[in-house]
Structure 1
């Protein structure tokens, strides 16, 4: 048996740090797999804020939630927001600031859609700064980066640089990567102190 793929590893790290009734953020809805994962973990008393700039991504996420959930009343309250993740602080209820248990980013582009619509380094870095402030002590931030597509390498390098410059007194950072595959996705994680 090999190592976990990066998305599975991100979910593994998050599962260790959150529980029923917590608050979480899916910063990039994509096809909704992280949203469904978070909503299931948090249960009916939990809350998930979900961001994407593409209505198609939010629609796919909604469809996934409806189709996969045999008991929708056991899922967290999911707030689908047609907004860039860099604006998350203004869309998350003020009483949830500093209370978020987990924030998950899955960068790149929406699978099956136009690969020209990608996450942008400048907005991603702004979103990461906001995310760090929104997390509670002990909260986790995961970022799956995709260096293999156009613009992905620059964004991945910028995110890794950002994480390495977060003061250790604020958060602990880690990189989970398969070094034999330079263009493969990899995972950057932070745990807030």
Structure 2
């Protein structure tokens, strides 16, 4: 069976993240990716979990319980450079759009998302990945989708491989997955 988008996003992280790695959940939401990443990196690792909504951070804290390797950050992912320490990042995950069961008028935006992606890419270890689930079925979602596709399709091939994983026969603006893998340099 083909994996649906969210399980495929997790597989792309599982394939490379190891115990002790540093990772980022750029859109904390209700904490599902934060918890998943916390379990992948183990007690020796570090998860930086960003969201601009206090409600999201509280939901994630509640879900993650006593995971001591998570730093919750109430700020935009575009400010990642203010919080993340100097060790290389192995992976970052985004779920673009709005907080599920939250205020649908508060969404990710093309400018902050692209700035965060560039800052994360600069900190990414060789072979590291930025995994982005693009939800584009809301007002502003198509604008963000189009901006991402335009900018990422022009990214130099010598720096990264960029994958698009999408089911093309689904209705209602089904989400799709983008994965930026930083090339290994000898």
TM-score, structure 1 normalization? 0.91
Tell me the SS of whatever aligns to 2:15: helix
2:80 to 88, 99, 112: 88
**Aligned twin of 1:139:** 128
User: What 5-or-longer segments of structure 1 have no aligned partner?
Assistant: 67-71
CA–CA separation in structure 2 for the residues paired with 1:10 and 1:76: 24
Shift of 1:162: 2.1
CA–CA separation in structure 1 for the residues paired with 2:43 and 2:93: 20
Contact in 2 for aligned 1:101/1:139 (Cα 8 Å): yes
Q: Which has the higher helix share?
A: 1
CA–CA separation in structure 2 for the residues paired with 1:116 and 1:141: 25
CA–CA separation in structure 2 for the residues paired with 1:135 and 1:37: 19
**Aligned twin of 1:170:** 159
Deviation per CA, 1:20-44, whole angstroms, max 9, x where unpaired?
0000000000010000000001100
Q: 1:76 to 1:177 in 2, by over 3 A?
A: farther
1:7-22 counterparts in 2 under 5 A? 7-22=6-21
1:191 to 174, 181, 186: 181
**Aligned twin of 1:55:** 54
Shift of 1:76: 5.7
**Aligned twin of 1:69:** none
**Aligned twin of 1:65:** 64
CA–CA separation in structure 2 for the residues paired with 1:46 and 1:76: 10
Shift of 1:170: 0.7
CA–CA separation in structure 2 for the residues paired with 1:181 and 1:125: 27
Deviation per CA, 1:149-190, whole angstroms, max 9, x where unpaired?
111011012112222111111110010001113611000001
1:12-161 counterparts in 2 under 5 A? 12-66=11-65, 72=66, 75=67, 77-93=69-85, 95-96=86-87, 99-161=88-150
User: What 5-or-longer segments of structure 2 have no aligned partner?
Assistant: none
Contact in 2 for aligned 1:46/1:76 (Cα 8 Å): no
Contact in 2 for aligned 1:24/1:49 (Cα 8 Å): yes
TM-score, structure 2 normalization? 0.94
**How many equivalent residue pairs?**
182
Contact in 2 for aligned 1:6/1:186 (Cα 8 Å): yes
Shift of 1:11: 0.4
Contact in 2 for aligned 1:52/1:81 (Cα 8 Å): yes
